[in-house]
Amino acid sequence: MTPTQALPPQVTVVRHPLVQHKLTLMRQKDASTGEFRRLAREISLLMAYELTRDLPLEQTTIETPLETMQAPLLAGKKLCIVSILRAGDGIAEGMLDLVPSARVGHIGLYRDPATLKPVEYYLKLPEDIGERLVIVVDPMLATGHSAAVAIERLKRAGATQLRFACLLAAPEGVGVLTAAHPDVPVFTCSVDRELDSHAYIRPGLGDAGDRLYGTK
């Protein structure tokens, strides 16, 4: 896919004005580590509203200070947020501000220098992941290979309800992920122009992990 082509139907760009405003602030090269981290957390919370707008509800009986009533509560098991290490933690933390009861899983991947393919080095998930809506988070969807491998691994672990969320995506990454997992909705704040020769998203915001944790 190219920037001029229509996005696949399972891709949602979150265009809320506050999200777009905060993303612009994050993109600026002079944003401090603390500011970048705070903005990532705030955007992630706002994205979580979009990701969870169709969660099922059930009616329950409660007592208000005045009377008994039927009122809605979330039905069944709650969410599981799975962070692709390390930068995914910067997104997971913001979502947990909105859904603090969510379970959290982690998957660690590195790129093999010979094959350039993602290799799993860490996996820790809730035992009941198959009963939960799983939101996989990573700030950047660049080549799409790590995200596709992570989702495939989660499916093998029993996950059946999956969504992927990122701050920025490249057209190349969107194409790879949606081709590999056409059943998984993708949420992003922007689909940027392209990848460069080093697989950085352009215009992008730099290395999200380094900017989140001040390691560069």
Catalytic residues: 111, 115, 207, 210
Is there a binding annotation on residue 83? no
Is there a binding annotation on residue 111? yes
Is there a binding annotation on residue 87? no
Is there a binding annotation on residue 143? yes
Handedness of CA 80, 84, 85, 87 (dihedral sign): negative
Is there a binding annotation on residue 157? no
38 three-state secondary structure: helix
Angle at which helices 145-156 and 171-180 pack, to 10 degrees?
Answer: 20
Cβ neighbours, 10 Å, residue 195: 18
Is there a binding annotation on residue 140? yes
Q: In what helix (H) or strand (E) does residue 200 lie, and over which residues does it extend? A: none
74 three-state secondary structure: strand
CA 123 to chain centre: 17
Task: Give dist(CA 106, CA 137) in Å, integer.
Answer: 10
Q: For the chain, how are helix, strand and coil distributed in percent, rounded to 5?
A: 35, 30, 40
Is there a binding annotation on residue 144? yes
Is there a binding annotation on residue 190? no
Is there a binding annotation on residue 21? no
Is there a binding annotation on residue 208? yes
Is there a binding annotation on residue 90? no
Q: Confirm if 177 and 150 have CB atoms less than 8 A apart.
A: no
Task: Give dist(CA 56, CA 116) in Å, integer.
Answer: 40
Is there a binding annotation on residue 142? yes
Q: Confirm if 83 and 105 have CB atoms less than 8 A apart.
A: yes
Is there a binding annotation on residue 207? yes
Annotated binding site: 86, 111, 138-146, 201, 206-208
Annotated binding site for 5-phospho-alpha-D-ribose 1-diphosphate: 86, 111, 138-146, 207
Annotated binding site for uracil: 201, 206-208
